[in-house]
């Protein structure tokens, strides 16, 4: 495959489900919510009792399980828990490598938003943050380029979360077909 530059454009990223009245077990990976509508495996968990980057791994009725245990020492009730839906914005083609050259994340809202950008190494089953909890003010954008280039192996992914529904547009510049 010949090398080629392209842009991967994804509009209106941001899926947010929020439940108040949730209960978080002490030093636990479980959250009890009033309903599970809108929650999915791989959603990011936003709550003061969970370390950054905690993700949903399993859903059993109104019990949600995460990959990281909560930090609270006793059960915490009446909690507001946000679940941010993931958007895969680029997948490296099979049997080839790609390089993330840069990207622009543009705020679509009338207020500040926060974004998270991660790579998903599918062969290792590991996620790594490129951008974590970065604020983008109203009427502004954020550029990913100063951090260097990111190599994506075959079928690795660039994934984005936003704390506001439809809050951000994404444009990644990609060099694909790299051997």
From-to residues of CATH 2.40.30 in the chain: 15-85
For the structural domain made of 4-13+87-178, what CATH number should be given?
A: 2.60.120.340
Q: Is the pLDDT of residue 97 over 90?
A: yes
* CA–CA gap between residue 16 and residue 39 (Å, rounded): 9
In CATH, 15-85 is 2.40.30:
yes
Condensed to tens digits (0 to 9), the pLDDT of residues 132-141 reads 999 999 999 9
DSSP conformation letters of 119-144: EEETTTTEEEEEEEEEEE-TT-EEEE
Burial class (CB in 10 A: 0-12, 13-18, 19+), 109: middle
In the chain, CATH 2.60.120.340 covers 4-13+87-178
User: Which strand (E) or helix (H) includes residue 45?
Assistant: strand 44-46
pLDDT the model gives residue 98:
94
- How far is the C-alpha of 18 from the C-alpha of 102, rounded, in Å? 31
What pLDDT is attached to residue 146? 66
pLDDT computed for residue 147 by the predictor: 62
């Amino acid at each position: 495959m010949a090398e080629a530059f392209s842009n991967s454009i994804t509009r209106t990223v941001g899926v947010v489900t929020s439940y108040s009245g949730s209960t978080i077990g002490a030093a636990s990976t479980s959250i009890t919510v009033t309903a599970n509508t809108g929650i999915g495996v791989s959603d990011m968990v936003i709550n003061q009792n969970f370390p950054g980057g905690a993700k949903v791994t399993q859903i059993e009725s109104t019990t949600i399980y995460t990959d990281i245990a909560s930090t609270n020492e006793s059960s915490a009730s009446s909690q507001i828990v946000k679940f941010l839906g993931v958007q895969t914005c680029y997948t490296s083609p099979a049997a080839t490598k790609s390089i993330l050259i840069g990207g622009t994340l543009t705020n679509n809202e009338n207020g500040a938003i926060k974004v998270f950008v991660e790579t998903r190494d599918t062969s290792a089953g590991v996620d790594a943050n490129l951008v974590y909890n970065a604020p983008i003010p109203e009427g502004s954008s954020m550029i990913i380029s100063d951090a260097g280039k990111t190599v994506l192996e075959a079928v690795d992914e660039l994934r984005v979360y936003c704390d506001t529904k439809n809050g951000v547009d994404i444009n990644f510049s990609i060099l694909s077909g790299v051997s």
